[in-house]
Structure 1
Amino acid sequence: MELFADRLYLTTGHNVEAIVIPSGLSEQIRARLAHLPQATPAIIDPHNRYCTFLTALTNPYHTVPQPIQRQLALHGVTVPQPGTRVMLPRSDDQFGWRWACEPTPGRLRLPQRTLVLSAIRLSILEGADVVPA
Structure 2
Amino acid sequence: MFERCHTPHEIARLLRHRYGLPVQLLAGRPMIVTGSVLGAVVMPTELGRAVLGTLDRTFTAPVVADPGERTWTFLVAPPSPAQPMDIAVRRYLSEHQVVVLPGGRQVLLPTTDSPLGWHWAGEPAPGVLRMPPRSAVINAVHQVTGTRLPTP
User: Is the pair's TM-score, using the shorter chain for normalization, greater than 0.5?
Assistant: yes
Inter-partner Cα distance in structure 2 for 1:19 and 1:74: 14
Answer 1 or 2: higher relative contact order, Cα 8 Å, separation at least 6.
1
The answer to whether residue 70 in structure 2 is matched with residue 49 in structure 1 is: yes
The answer to whether residue 29 in structure 2 is matched with residue 7 in structure 1 is: yes
Inter-partner Cα distance in structure 2 for 1:114 and 1:43: 18
The answer to whether residue 109 in structure 2 is matched with residue 85 in structure 1 is: no
The answer to whether residue 142 in structure 2 is matched with residue 121 in structure 1 is: yes
The answer to whether residue 32 in structure 2 is matched with residue 28 in structure 1 is: no
Correspondence 1:37-116 to 2 at 5 A? 38-91=59-112, 94-116=115-137
- Secondary structure in 2 matching 1:40: coil
- For structure 1, which runs of at least 5 residues remain unmatched after alignment? 127-133
Equivalent position amino acid for 1:16 in 2: L
- Secondary structure in 2 matching 1:21: strand
Equivalent position amino acid for 1:34 in 2: D
Structure 1, residues 87-126: CA drift from partner, whole Å, max 9, x if none?
Answer: 0001455411110011100000111111111001111126
Give the structure-2-normalised TM-score: 0.78
Asked if the contact 2:113–2:120 (Cα under 8 Å) also holds between the matched residues in 1, the reply is: no
Sequence identity, in percent?
A: 34
> Which structure's residues are more often helix, by fraction?
2
Equivalent position amino acid for 2:122 in 1: C
Equivalent position amino acid for 1:124 in 2: T
Q: Which residue pairs with 1:129 in the alignment? A: none
Inter-partner Cα distance in structure 2 for 1:39 and 1:91: 20
- For structure 2, which runs of at least 5 residues remain unmatched after alignment? 1-22, 148-152
Give the structure-1-normalised TM-score: 0.88
Asked if the contact 2:112–2:118 (Cα under 8 Å) also holds between the matched residues in 1, the reply is: no
Equivalent position amino acid for 1:60 in 2: P
